[in-house]
Amino acid sequence: MPSEFMKRVKQGPVLFDGGMGSLLIAQGLAMGDAPELWNFEKPETVRDAHRAYFDAGSDVVATNTFGGTRLKLDAKGLAGRTEELNRAGAEAALSVRPPAGFVAGDVGPTGKVTGLPGAVSFDMLLDTFREQTSVLADSGVDLLLIETMYDLEEARAAVSAAVETGLPVGATMTFERKPRGFFTLMGNRPEDCLSMLEEAGVSLLGANCTLGPEDMLDLLSSIRPRTSLPLLVQPNAGQPVLVDGQAVYSTGPGTFAHGVRRLLDGGADLVGGCCGTTPEFIRLIRSEIEGYLENR
């Protein structure tokens, strides 16, 4: 039976949220701190950030659990709190979910690599992703979102673990633009990502981070003909430039929202923002979606 979320995806464009890190940094999160710790220590701040996205028009917000695998938390001395921090992250988002809204349990990379001497094995990755995705699923999230993946083997482990929960699973990889096309940091090509992730059982897939809306459009036009699954695209607000030691993104909310409109015209089914995007960006995308629906 299709989930409520997948029924919603069939009805037309779905709007995800924007960046989370920048909102928490604005509230005092320091460089190097684990953002997941705030799910427990400052849940009201995390809730406010999710609420700001729902209020701006997001249909879906992603939990503040990007670095919530045991392998990743271990690097901050927080491995023993894996379950608690993921559960608190799910609760923070679920507590502000409006009746028509959805919460995606967010899963990011472990920071470990596969396929090199001394690297982690596929089974170790599977274990760490099983732990995180089962806690998120038990906490009541509507779907699982594997994102910002740059190693296809790791993404495959995360998706394989996530589909075991029975929830819909989305996966987005991060690509860089090279003279010979789009590649992940580990050298995976978009077409290989599509076929392997489809085989692993995703309900939707796509790309997020690093690329701005214009590069994403080029990537989208190369992958749209290759899959019938819904495509999720979450660009960055252009490229970061350092101003007084702070990353400032080059694309403003209006230009970004226009770019996202072109992504919808180019066949994206689900859209949102990644680094450098805020509730203001989401508000403008929401009005672009209204225009898109009127002209459809």
Distance of alpha carbon 157 from alpha carbon 121, whole angstroms? 10
Give CA separation, 162 vs 130, 138, 165, 259, in Å. 7, 12, 6, 31
Nearer to Zn ion by Cβ, of 217 and 274: the residue is 274
Smallest distance, Zn ion to C-beta of residue 234, A: 8
Smallest distance, Zn ion to C-beta of residue 177, A: 15
Is 275 a binding residue for Zn ion by CB under 5 A? The answer is yes
Instruction: Show the site string, 206-225: x = touches Zn ion by CB under 5 A, - = not.
Output: ---x----------------
Smallest distance, Zn ion to C-beta of residue 80, A: 28
CA atoms within 13 A on the CB side of 204: 26
Nearer to Zn ion by Cβ, of 136 and 274: the residue is 274
Tokens of 58: 């997001």
User: Which has the closest alpha carbon to 255: 273, 267, 241?
Assistant: 273
Taking CB under 5 A as the criterion, the residue among 161, 274, 284, 289 binding Zn ion is 274
Smallest distance, Zn ion to C-beta of residue 275, A: 3
Nearer to Zn ion by Cβ, of 148 and 188: the residue is 148
Tokens of 241: 């430039």
Nearer to Zn ion by Cβ, of 125 and 149: the residue is 149
Q: Would you call 191 helix, strand, or coil by DSSP? A: helix
CA angle 102–124–31, rounded 5-degree value: 60
Nearer to Zn ion by Cβ, of 177 and 292: the residue is 177
Smallest distance, Zn ion to C-beta of residue 185, A: 13
Select the span of 66-74, 82-90, 101-109, 266-274 touching Zn ion (CB under 5 A). Answer: 266-274
| 102 DSSP 8-state letter | E
Smallest distance, Zn ion to C-beta of residue 240, A: 10
Question: Please, what's the b/e burial string for 177-201 (b: 16 or more CB within 10 A of its CB; e: otherwise)?
Answer: eeeeebebebebebeebbebbbebe
Nearer to Zn ion by Cβ, of 167 and 233: the residue is 233
Smallest distance, Zn ion to C-beta of residue 236, A: 5
Strand partners, 246: 243
Nearer to Zn ion by Cβ, of 167 and 273: the residue is 273
Distance of alpha carbon 74 from alpha carbon 127, whole angstroms? 14
Q: Count of residues binding Zn ion (CB under 5 A)?
A: 3
Residues making contact with Zn ion (CB under 5 A): 209, 274-275
